[in-house]
Homo-oligomer: A and B are copies of this chain.
């Protein structure tokens, strides 16, 4: 099975399209990488790029994109509504297929070291790649933004980066890390009102005593009660387990599931896992899926 890793870097430029295009092109021209999507927001003055590829490919593409952003973006000139620490603000690596979170942590730290040494940008690993508890959360690392980092990095030992120099240039600082794939997923209820959706959401979410890796809230959408969720690690808390728990809770209130929807993308693995569970295919191996056999062959040809 082909290893596939996703990277979703955020850059502090959403207005000068020639700059955005130069960064996108740095990603596109890296072998073993495909740029799936990129979008820019002028008010935020920020762009998000989504690309996938081999471990080596995504690491190299992220490096060249960070180098382009450092060359073309001056944080002293940057203004925008969205908080940011540097020209390349945040770079998460995400396992999609046949890759572990640990491999993504290794990529994030290796890239962080290289960015620190070769580009002289201070780098802060976050989420699963963090080396300190106070650097796990992105908002904590970014607090005070570029301007506070610039003013305190040399004097405050607490701001010393994990990689790179304890000083900022025009590219500011960069936050690089690893996290699981996030599935955004909503369940619409029938024979219920929004209060039932809110009760079910509370029962599902981690903070309410429910499932690990589930964020949930109840609301009304298109006139229907909806349980709106983020599953932040589908390999540990799978979509089918949450859905069947919602079904049972709804039943308690005389309600049912009308339908469910995915917002954005989902890795094939999450759907295969659901089919395997519902169909009780306990003995199924991944290479029984014809397309997987084909991918394995194509890999061997390279």
Instruction: Identify the A interface with B (CB < 8 A).
Output: 4, 6, 34, 36, 52, 96-97, 239-240, 243, 257-262, 264-268, 271-272, 274-276, 278-284, 288-294, 297-298
Contact = CB atoms under 8 A, between A and B. Distances in A.
A4 B290 CA distance: 10
A268 B291 contact: yes
B34 A298 contact: yes
Nearest to A36: B293
Contacts of A36: 290, 293-294, 297
Contacts of A272: 268, 271-272, 275
Q: Which 8 A-B pairs have the closest CB atoms?
A: A271-B275, A274-B275, A278-B278, A259-B282, A268-B291, A265-B290, A275-B275, A259-B280
Contact of A34 (B264, B271, B282, B297): B297
Given A275-B272, A279-B260, A266 B289 contact: yes
B259 A288 contact: no
Given A261-B281, A261-B282, 8 more contacts: A34-B294, A239-B279, A259-B282, A260-B279, A260-B282, A268-B272, A268-B290, A274-B274
12 contacts: A4-B290, A34-B297, A36-B297, A239-B279, A243-B279, A258-B280, A259-B282, A261-B283, A265-B289, A271-B272, A275-B275, A275-B278
A267 B291 contact: yes
A274 B262 CA distance: 16
Contacts of A6: 290
Given A275-B274, A278-B278, A265 B240 contact: no
A267 B290 contact: yes
A52 to B, nearest CB: 6
Q: Is the interface of A mostly helix, strand, loop or mixed?
A: mixed
A118 B239 CA distance: 55
Contacts of A283: 259, 261
Nearest to A187: B280
Which of A261, A278, A279, A282 is most buried by chain B, counting CB atoms within 10 A of its CB?
A279
A281 B289 CA distance: 21
Contact of A290 (B258, B266, B278, B288): B266
A24 to B, nearest CB: 13
Nearest to A35: B297
Nearest to A289: B268
A247 B290 CA distance: 27
A284 B274 CA distance: 15
